[in-house]
A and B are shown apart, each in its own frame.
Chain A
Amino acid sequence: MIPNVAPAPADSTATPALAPAGTPGKAALTRFSRHRLFASPGAVAGLIWLAAIVAASLTAPLWLPFRTEDQDFTAVLSGPTAAHWLGTDELGRDILSRIFAAAAGTLGTSMITVLVGVGLGTILAMAAAGAGDRAEAVISRVTEVMMSLPGTVIILAVIGAVGTNIPLIMAILGVLISAGIYRVMLGQAKSLQSQLYVDAAKVDGMGALGISLRHVFPGLVNTIVVQAALIFAVGMLIQAGLAFIGFGPPIPEPSWGGMIQGASQHVYDAPWMMVPTGVVLALTVLAANAIGNALGKAPNAAASHLPSAAARRQRAKAVSAAGAADAPDGLAKGLLSVRNLSVGVDNGVRLVTDVSFDVEQGTVLGLVGESGCGKTMTALALLGLLPSGVSAADGRILWNGMNLAAATDKEMEGIRGRDIALISQEPMRALDPMFTVGYQLTATIRRLRGMGRNASRAEALSLLEKVGIVDAAGILKTYPHQISGGMAQRVAIALALAGKPRLLVADEPTTALDVTVQAEILSLLRGLVKETGMSVVMVTHDLGVVADICDQVAVMYAGQVVENGRTADILDDPRHPYTLALLAADPHANHTDMPERLATIQGQVPQPKDWPSGCRFAARCQFAGSACLAPVPLLSSGTGSGLVRCVKADELAVEGLDWVATDVAPHRLLDLTPEQLNVTEKDLA
């Protein structure tokens, strides 16, 4: 619906089809995460640090100036010197050598915690998600018990029983941590299990293990990597802590925790001794955390879609200047007049161009077209509710003599809800699940109308009755999840009516409802229009809904109005080939004698960046000719009352052509090359 601007969720299963078509798909996932790592300077530094530590400690025997147990009694407790770069400890042992000799062991044993903890947690989560409710309940109970165990006590008990076997202790720590990892992974594993492609694999006869490995595990990899980085840091800290209280590796063997403990005893006479080990430990933990953070960050979180405040002010000024140039006065009250409206992303791509229509008081205008044609963007522009990064770039939206396209946020706040209200496709989104229907309705009424508690309650009851709810008092006490979709849409309409709006913008208000409920909601809206005299802008893809309720209709294609006029004229006698084609493709239009095959329009709606300068439908139109390569204005057609954006409209009307089911590319029917059809505005500019 909203091209280009919606930030994709971290686990993007529904990337819009906007992905650059030329991207080679090879190893997209790894490239993706690598890219994210390199976007964060902290993570880059962390990677370099960890790589350096690992490389240095693995090669330590080759280059270390001293062995770990070499004692230099000439330089006990010394600071950095030429011989001992990082100084020495109380026995004159070289600190640099000891740090790097200990590094491999510390990092390696922390890795044991990571492998056991994350591995076990992931396996448990995948098993619980895949094996059904009962198995999940058992595993969840077991992990709850594990999480309630006092970890420190268990580890100390193990040390008491088997001594300071560091790998074993770190493995047990991993088991204890796995319960937490399980909690993190379970929700994600379950959501992956409920994907339709998992159902498809089950239909194929793929077993539970195959599904876990092929379809669930790859989806968890990202989380696994993030958790691994964080647990790695935890493991290091706990290991250092254990060594500090004396449960580190046996004595002459160096460990970071043990070295810090040693240094702590000389903190007054040789404070330097604490510094090198402490810094190395802190930096290593920080590095692991930085990498984890960078990997866990949502891919788009860093990129802001919001334009700078200055840019927004400047644009608002430009639009209002354009609007002021020829602001007509004496516009009828209650008339909405949209003139040459363009809506664009801030990088310059237009999503809606040059849209004009009027909505007279007490009438219903339908904005109809396929997804990606800009109908929702146009509707949201009327309310000043365009998504961030998208704005009205040109043209005017005149409402009661005011240009809404140039209105400030503050001015729009005064208009929204009071003058112009919205009902959306998902009624549940208009309702807050935390509050009762009654609370939400009365709060809205009090805010918009300044009524008292009792008056607003009476008004809420009368609004609910107005939208056809029989048991209004009962519904006031319910929570949104307790009522059906049709009932929720009625409540949402009541909410929209709370401010006595003069214009209702309805964005696909019946698309999510059953047809019998849709018919009732349409009847309700029709009655409300008649009763209150408000106007409605109805966004829909359903030509049947248009026929049912709209007085006027504007057919949109690729961000433009291609045909505009009285509903009866346009649906009974379409002039634009796109309208003709939509009607031919609609199975509802053919209910008396269903054809063997439906007419189709080959190809799909072009992306905003690919719109040609000529007719945007030409590439899919069976009637297209060379005249269609030039920009086409919206003109009144010879005999009809409406406007149409087609150079061949009159010719087609005379010939009475039908849209035929064709899968033959139009450029083969006509003497046009694909290149000719794809001349873009950029090329012409």
Chain B
Amino acid sequence: MSIETPARPGTTTAPMLAVKDLVVRYGRGRKAAASPAAVDGVSFDIAPGETVGLVGESGSGKSTIGKAILGLQKVSGGSIAYQGTDITAAGPGQRRALGGELRAVFQDPNSSLNPRNTVGASLMEPLKLRGAAAAEARSKAEDMLERVGLPRDAVDRYPSQFSGGQRQRISVARALICDPKLVVCDEAVSALDLSTQAQVLNLLADLRDERGLSYLFIAHDIAVVRFLAERVVVLYRGQVMENGPADEVTGNPRHPFTQALVAASPVPRPAEQAARREARESLGIRTGAAATPAPGGCPFRLRCPLATDLCRDERPALRRVGGADVACHYA
């Protein structure tokens, strides 16, 4: 199977990735139809060379979206297009034909490399799948290891001989070894300590600048997203709450949930943090109650200080407020 050549006029301005009305439900059959969708009508684009941050709390569906893009999660509705080609239901053959352009870096540096294979074997696997010769693949793997700051002889060693930060560098090397255009980073630095986190974040930024990569950077930490992303998409219970430039969304959040998220992220300056704490408490955000809101309406309404009957009855559509798109009746 070969991918269609995106020969339509206007492909130059076509987004690298277009997610449209994506719906993902877990389970099968009647049970799935009855349960709330894990991802509920999410749309966003990633332009060539752009880094989009996907942020939300646990259970917001951010990782599910990443998996759907990578073909690891079955999609219930909507579409995902990579450079104009629909990949919503692409099988292994079509994925292989994407030529390694769409790659991933996962969260857990312990389980993202097969402990029984050498680092070299893990790095060369995607190249060999595409028919690269062993010698060529090996030298490419060594070059890539050097690029991410590891010694060339790391190819013959096993993942257990490296620290968490080094393993995450190896995962980055594996993702970038076949010159991808788009890399999905799913909580790629969450498991790392501060100093190694900074190293890996800088590495991702360097590689992006060198190679013009696009990233979909999925994280729960809005400060980490802010460092890398040009645009931020904020999710709550599978729906987009706010989507706009990173400065705008994190510096001047419009949606009450984004405000809560930004205010809750602590800063390491005691006086400033005390002021932020007071500001957060004055927002009047209610505790993440155990009660799940009934479908329809705004998913955040049970915690929102601004909520009214309108929020219960009508799901707010994304609309332009200032520089960002916000899904709130009262933003």
* Interface residues in chain A, defined as those with a beta carbon under 8 Å from any beta carbon in chain B: 12-17, 19, 21, 23, 25, 28-29, 133, 195-197, 199-208, 210, 214-215, 218-219, 370-371, 468, 470-471, 483-487, 514-520, 522-523, 541-548, 567-568, 571-572, 581-583, 585-591, 594, 596-602, 604-605, 661, 663
Q: Which chain A residues lie closer than 8 Å to B118 at the CB level?
A: 25
**Cα separation A345 to B40 with both chains bound (whole Å):** 52
Are A483 and B290 interface neighbours, CB within 8 A? yes
**Complexed CA–CA distance, A596 and B100 (Å):** 28
Known pairs A195-B114, A572-B271; list 20 more (Cβ under 8 Å): A12-B160, A21-B161, A25-B156, A25-B161, A199-B104, A202-B70, A205-B129, A208-B92, A515-B220, A519-B264, A523-B281, A571-B268, A585-B198, A586-B198, A587-B223, A591-B250, A591-B267, A598-B227, A601-B198, A605-B193
Judge whether A196 and B108 touch: CB under 8 Å.
Answer: yes
Are A547 and B268 in contact, CB atoms less than 8 angstroms apart?
yes
Residue of A nearest to B106 (CB): A196
Given the complex of chains A and B, what is the CA–CA distance between A489 and B165 in angstroms? 29
A17-B163, A515-B221, A541-B193 given as contacts; is B100 within 8 A of A204 (CB)?
yes
Tell me, yes or no, whether B295 is within 8 Å of chain A by CB.
Answer: no
**Interface contact B96-A204, CB-CB below 8 Å:** yes
Q: Which of A13, A519, A581 contacts B111 (CB 8 A)?
A: A13
Q: Is there an interface contact between A598 and B198, defined as CB atoms closer than 8 Å? A: yes
Contact string, B174-208, partner A, CB cutoff 8 A, digits 1/0?
Answer: 10000000000000000001111111011001100
User: B202 to chain A: which residues have CB within 8 Å?
Assistant: 597-598, 600, 661
- A129-B6 Cα distance, complex, nearest whole Å: 36
Give the distance in Å from the alpha carbon of A23 to the alpha carbon of B156 in the complex: 11
On whether the beta carbons of B195 and A581 are closer than 8 Å, the reply is yes
Distance in Å from the Cβ of A433 to the closest Cβ of chain B? 18
Residues of B in contact (CB 8 Å), total 85
Given known contacts A541-B193, A597-B205, A598-B227, is B288 in contact with A517 (CB within 8 Å)? yes
In the complex, whether B329 has a CB less than 8 A from a CB of chain A is: no
A605–B163 CA distance with the chains assembled, in angstroms: 10
Cβ–Cβ < 8 Å partners of A13 in chain B: 110-111, 115
B226 touches A516 (CB 8 A): no
Closest to B157 in A: A25
Q: Is the CB of A133 within 8 A of B28?
A: yes
Residues of A within 8 A of B220 (CB): 514-515
The answer to whether A207 touches B280 (Cβ under 8 A) is: no
Does B116 lie within 8 Å of A218, measured CB to CB?
yes
Does the CB pair B193–A370 fall under 8 Å? yes
Question: Are A204 and B125 closer than 8 Å at their CB atoms?
Answer: yes
Contact: B106 with A199, CB < 8 Å?
yes
| Residue numbers in A under 8 Å from B194 (CB-CB) | 370, 541, 543, 582, 585-586
Residues of B within 8 A of A484 (CB): 288, 290
Which of chain B's residues have a CB closer than 8 A to the CB of A219?
Answer: 116
Q: Which residues of A contact B93 (CB under 8 A)?
A: 205, 207
A519 near B270 with CB under 8 A, answer no
Q: Which residues of B contact A522 (CB under 8 A)?
A: 266
Q: Least Cβ distance of B231 to chain A in Å?
A: 14
Q: How far is the CA of A206 from the CA of B226 in the complex (A)?
A: 34
Contact with A along B129-146 (1 / 0, CB 8 A): 100000000000000000
With both beta carbons as reference points, the residue of chain B lying nearest to A510 in the complex is identified as: B266
Least CB distance from A31 to B in Å reads 12
Closest to B303 in A: A516
Compute how far the CA of A585 lies from the CA of B288 in the bound complex, rounded to whole angstroms: 31
**Contacts of B174 on A, CB cut-off 8 Å?**
200
Known contacts A205-B129, A545-B266, A571-B270: does B112 contact A200 (CB below 8 Å)? yes
Beyond A205-B93, A567-B270, is A485–B110 a contact (Cβ under 8 Å)?
no
When C-beta atoms are compared, the residue in chain A nearest to B149 turns out to be A663
Q: What A residues does B161 contact at CB under 8 A?
A: 17, 19, 21, 23, 25
Tell me whether A585 and B197 are in contact in the complex, defined as CB-CB below 8 angstroms, given that A17-B162, A19-B160, A197-B112 are known contacts.
Answer: yes
B99-128 CB contacts (< 8 Å) to partner A: 100, 102-104, 106-108, 110-116, 118, 122, 125-126
A469 to chain B, nearest CB (A): 9
Q: Which residue of A lies closest to B199 (CB)?
A: A600
User: B100 contacts which chain A residues (CB < 8 A)?
Assistant: 204
A547, B270: Cβ atoms under 8 Å?
A: yes
Does B304 count as interface, using CB distance less than 8 angstroms? Answer: no
Alpha-carbon separation in the docked complex, A214 to B193 (Å) = 32
Q: Would you call A544 and B160 a contact (CB within 8 A)? A: no
Asked if B269 is an interface residue, CB under 8 A from chain A, the answer is yes
Contact between A516 and B267, CB atoms less than 8 A apart: no
CB interface residues, B 36-84, toward A, < 8 Å: 57-58, 67, 70-72
- On whether the beta carbons of B268 and A588 are closer than 8 Å, the reply is yes
**Inter-chain contact A204/B267, CB cutoff 8 Å:** no
Which 10 pairs between the two chains have the least Cβ-Cβ distance?
Answer: A544-B266, A205-B96, A543-B268, A205-B95, A585-B198, A15-B160, A370-B193, A598-B198, A196-B112, A514-B57
Select from chain A the residue with minimum beta-carbon distance to B90.
Answer: A205
Say whether B103 contacts A203, CB under 8 Å: yes
Chain B nearest CB, measured from A348 CB (Å): 23
Interface pair A516/B126, CB less than 8 Å apart: no
Q: Which of B258-303 contact A (CB under 8 A)?
A: 260-261, 263-273, 277, 280-281, 285, 287-288, 290
Complex CA gap A196/B168 in Å reads 12
Q: Max chain B CB contacts within 10 Å: which of A214, A215, A520, A544?
A: A544
Indicate if the CB atoms of B57 and A588 lie closer than 8 Å. Answer: no
Compute how far the CA of A567 lies from the CA of B273 in the bound complex, rounded to whole angstroms: 12
